[in-house]
Structure 1
């Protein structure tokens, strides 16, 4: 998972004033109405593949380093790479925004979602944590009712119920990992999905008005600030000494300089962080979300593949069944959302 990790925003109404904003006009959105679905699909697949690589690399490092140290190094490298890309999207002038508070709030939602998700990845099988996180579009559907005033029909409501039934199925003791970890850990990816969905609903309500590189830079900077604050408060590991919970220990253990053997993993995480931030932001600016968002489910078979190849994990029957319900429900939501008539259908966000 990353700042705009799987699954991303469902297509929604775009305010007319957002279509006419200067930043959208300058960076190829709004009035120009970019419509390049093939490139959007290619970028989303590249971004999701990078996310899956990022996830298993963090899981590999989770036994020896604190999460906030991994995030700090990853974000510093990713930020440097994204600043290079920013040169091709208007330079530092592209960072100007009329909504700094919105970008800060979006960044905090993403940081909280990442921290919660990776606290689960340190303990749970990679495929199980990934599948549980894919309830995010179902949360987006539910949150769109009170916050966006959208009407959700019976088909999508049934899909939401079916998806959460899949979550419950994966909580039973027979599901892989459920018998060896606390129930709270199994809910961490679901909490991460809720935080991520809240960020996406906020984006849909207010509209994104920045280039892909700028959006990635705002997020990476927020990661750097939050992880630095974690270091100042808990970087000496004093809080980790008082807990036996593996997820909390991953969050709170002491910083230490990476070994030479681990530096390639840290550099790899930083490189894919730059790829993730740019590819996902660019994909959703180039094509309608209802077209490209279903391709984010590529992340689940990739998580299963890495879990099997790297960690020797293979999902149980209940994990397979729960995953099928969650993915199926999410696809129903995506396709039903894409089929709904809307006045600004050609608008890109």
Structure 2
């Protein structure tokens, strides 16, 4: 039963990540002409329509909307909201593969969190992997260009919050279904995006800065040609988000995270095919350091956990 559950979690993680990659492509495509909160609002409405349809057709029905942990949901929604905003602001100004590579610092972040908050002991090998991963982040920040890239820093913040949100999903998995978790996330997106639109949707805070322009651009009515892209981002986040959430609910984070790395080759593929961008030599170095160190950390966690189980 445990092996079947682990396999299900792996399949959900890999499949959900592949579907999520469509969301990243669509958001980057839309970032040149729309305000981020408008994109998130339309995306959330599409995703919510999908989630409500699944809830209506499922055996448990509308009981899945109920929860005894509203405060924890609110905290998770806030974490995921800020994680999304910071990632997409960075994504608007970075090549797709660069942004995704920096986001994959999450396993390193989880290791550091376990040291700080859980007081776990980390051996020299994992410390070495953490250091290598952070070096990879520094490479992606490109300080040699004369400045630290603010866009990459935003993605780094997003990675920290993404790791926190997934750990929280694992913590809530005993009482909350994937459908419940996804419902409240999309509801939070709708509320916050509407509020943001009422505040800044008229464009009075618009700027020419390549990063912040995406956040404060005025709302416009999308032309018919862009609606399929909005539909794609909404369905991808609805389906992909549900799958990844279910993966973290049912299996340990250390088992799931490696299979999210399928997003890296997909990001390179989409970057070349859709945007005509290919990672340069510096980016490849950063990608190799970050992904290599992250995968090594996860492998070491698996080895240590297996030894502990065998000793018991």
TM-score (norm 2): 0.91
Quote the offset at 1:96 in angstroms: 2.3
2:116 maps to 1:159: no
Deviation at 1:203, TM superposition (A): 4.5
Aligned-partner Cα distance in 2 for 1:247–1:296: 26
How many residues are treated as equivalent by the alignment? 308
Which of 27, 47, 52 in structure 2 is aligned with 1:58?
Answer: 27
Matches within 5 A, 1:111-122: 111-122=81-92
State the Cα deviation string for residues 22-67 of structure 1 (Å, max 9, x = none): xxxxxxxxxx868433332222222111111111111111111111
Residue number among 108, 124, 141 corresponding to 1:138 in the alignment? 108
What's the RMSD between the two structures over aligned residues? 2.3
- Give 3-state SS (helix, strand or coil) of 1:36's partner: helix
Cα separation, 1, equivalents of 2:174 and 2:43: 24
Bigger mean CA deviation after superposition, 46-55 or 36-45 = 36-45
Matched ranges for 1:33-182 at <5 A? 35-87=4-56, 88=58, 90-172=60-142
Instruction: Note closer, same or farther for the CA distance 1:46–1:202 as it changes in structure 2 (3 Å cut).
Output: closer
Residues 120 and 185 in structure 1, CA contact (< 8 A), matched pair in contact too? yes
Q: Specify the alignment match of 1:193 in structure 2.
A: 159
- Aligned to 2:240, which of 253, 276, 279? 276
- Rounded Cα–Cα distance in structure 1 between residues aligned with 2:164 and 2:77: 11
Structure 2 unaligned segments of length 5 or more: list them.
Answer: none
Q: Does structure 1 residue 322 correspond to structure 2 residue 289?
A: no
Structure 2 counterpart of 1:219:
185
Q: 1:250 is matched with which residue? A: 214
Displacement after TM superposition at 1:284 (Å): 2.5
CA gap 1:207/1:145 in 2 versus in 1, 3 angstroms: farther
Going from structure 1 to structure 2, the CA distance change for 1:280 and 1:80 (only over 3 Å counts) comes to same
- Residue 207 of structure 1 deviates from its aligned partner by 5.6
Task: Please say if residues 167 and 253 of structure 2, whose CA atoms lie closer than 8 Å, have aligned partners that are also in contact.
Answer: no
In the TM superposition, structure 1's runs of 4+ consecutive aligned residues that sit over 6 Å from their partners are none
Moved more, 132-141 or 35-44: 35-44
Q: How many angstroms apart in 1 are the aligned matches of 2:59 and 2:125?
A: 41
**Paired residue for 1:29?**
none
Match in the other structure for 2:199: 233
Out of 201-210 and 259-268, give the one that drifted further: 201-210
Q: In structure 2, do the counterparts of structure 1 residues 131 and 186 end up closer, same or farther at CA, with 3 Å as the change threshold?
A: same
What are the ranges of 5 or more consecutive residues in structure 1 without an aligned counterpart? 1-31
Question: What secondary structure does 1:148 align onto?
Answer: coil
The alpha-carbon deviation at position 172 of structure 1 amounts to 2.2
Measure how far apart 1:299 and its partner are: 0.4
Counterparts of 1:35 and 1:215 in 2: how far apart (Å)? 23
CA–CA distance in 1 between the matches of 2:134 and 2:148?
19
Rounded Cα–Cα distance in structure 1 between residues aligned with 2:152 and 2:126: 25
Q: Distance in 2 between matches of 1:161 and 1:129?
A: 20
Quick check: 163-172 or 202-211, which moved more? 202-211
- Corresponding residue for 1:210? 176
- Alpha-carbon spacing, 1:180–1:62, altered in 2? closer, same or farther (3 Å): farther
